[in-house]
Amino acid sequence: MPVMEATRTIVHVGNVEIGGAQTVMIAGPCSVESYEQTLDTALAVQAAGAVILRGGAYKPRTSPYDFQGLGLEGLQILARVRKETGLPVVSEVLSTDDIDAVAGHVDMLQVGARNMQNFALLRRLGQLRKPVLLKRSPAATVKEWLLAAEYILAGGNDQVVLCERGIRSYDPELRNTLDLAGLALARQLSPLPVIADPSHGTGRRDLIPAMSRAALAAGADGLIVEVHPEPAKALSDGKQSLDFCGFRSLMETLIIE
């Protein structure tokens, strides 16, 4: 039976509620690269209507020779920008070793797609009293994704947001395929808020507006979008990052309550 609206979970991230009446826009760079890049992006996305800042300090890269993130320095930059803008921050935690450092600097911890079934990490996050953004693995069924969330809930942490970020498909033109049926199903089966990531869900900035509209029509409680001052120079995921003007245009095309 679908979850009744009255029994849906509200997740509190700083002063922002995810899963309530408002559609929540999360935006920011794939990777924190510098203080200026992070602050400029935060101010631009905030002016356009984003209410939470994203930014990776510990990056799960396919190749060990690619940029791995600024680590602790990245977290310190996020904390400084958070203070200066008032925007709550979400950032990825890659390993149980980093939980204390990440939790000490951000408002919500992201479990990336590659770690969705890292059960040791999920169990530790269940002990935490901070919200968790749980991305779906590109190879996971909806039930596996919801069971991964249960590992966190079972520890007593009910502050979990699910994020559909695309599943692996066969079209080389698309990095991933945003699974909106999976998003709608997850929202029907679980009381947790569900958001969509049209950046990783396509790998292409030109598809972000269409997929954002579609995700909201499918019932998403919010979106998480990658934005960079100069996407061509981004140290990660430039092809799927909007510039400031692109993010402003996106916000103008969305009907957000």
Binding site for Mn ion (CB under 5 A): 30, 237
- Output the residue with the shortest Cβ distance to Mn ion: 30
Q: Which of these, 79, 91, 82, lies nearest to 130 by C-alpha position?
A: 91
Which of Mn ion, ligand PEP, none does 187 bind, CB closer than 5 to 8 A by kind? Answer: none
Cα–Cα distance, 51 to 226 (Å, whole number): 14
Place of tokens 């996971």: 140
Q: CB-wise, 124 or 165, nearer to Mn ion?
A: 165
Phi first, then psi, for residue 110 (nearest 5°) are: -95, 130
The pair of three-digit structure tokens given for residue 131, joined into one six-digit string: 């919200």
Burial of 196 per CB tally in 10 Å (0-12, 13-18, 19+)? buried
Query: Own/partner pairs for 109-116, CB < 8 Å, 24+ apart?
Result: 109/133, 110/54, 110/56, 110/135, 111/135, 112/60, 113/137, 113/138, 113/165, 113/200, 114/60, 115/60, 116/140, 116/144, 116/145, 116/148
Q: How far apart are the first and last CA of the chain?
A: 27
Q: CB-wise, 30 or 133, nearer to Mn ion?
A: 30
The pair of three-digit structure tokens given for residue 146, joined into one six-digit string: 């919801």
Which of Mn ion, ligand PEP, none does 205 bind, CB closer than 5 to 8 A by kind? Answer: none
CB of 200 to Mn ion, least distance (A): 6
Candidate residues 53, 89, 90, 113; the one interacting with ligand PEP per rule CB under 6 A: 113
Q: Where are the beta strands (DSSP E) in 88-213?
A: 89-92, 108-111, 132-135, 160-164, 194-196
- Output the residue with the shortest Cβ distance to ligand PEP: 112
Tell me the angle at which helices 142-154 and 180-189 cross, rounded to the nearest 10 degrees: 40
28 binds ligand PEP (CB under 6 A): no
CB of 28 to ligand PEP, least distance (A): 10
Candidate residues 13, 27, 30, 81; the one interacting with ligand PEP per rule CB under 6 A: 30
CB of 168 to ligand PEP, least distance (A): 11
Place of tokens 């990776």: 56
Q: CB-wise, 56 or 131, nearer to Mn ion?
A: 56
Touching ligand PEP, residues 127-146 (CB under 6 A): 135
CB of 15 to Mn ion, least distance (A): 26
Touching ligand PEP, residues 186-245 (CB under 6 A): 200
Which of Mn ion, ligand PEP, none does 113 bind, CB closer than 5 to 8 A by kind? Answer: ligand PEP
Q: CB-wise, 151 or 247, nearer to Mn ion?
A: 247
Interface residue list for ligand PEP (CB under 6 A)? 30, 56, 60, 112-114, 135, 165, 200
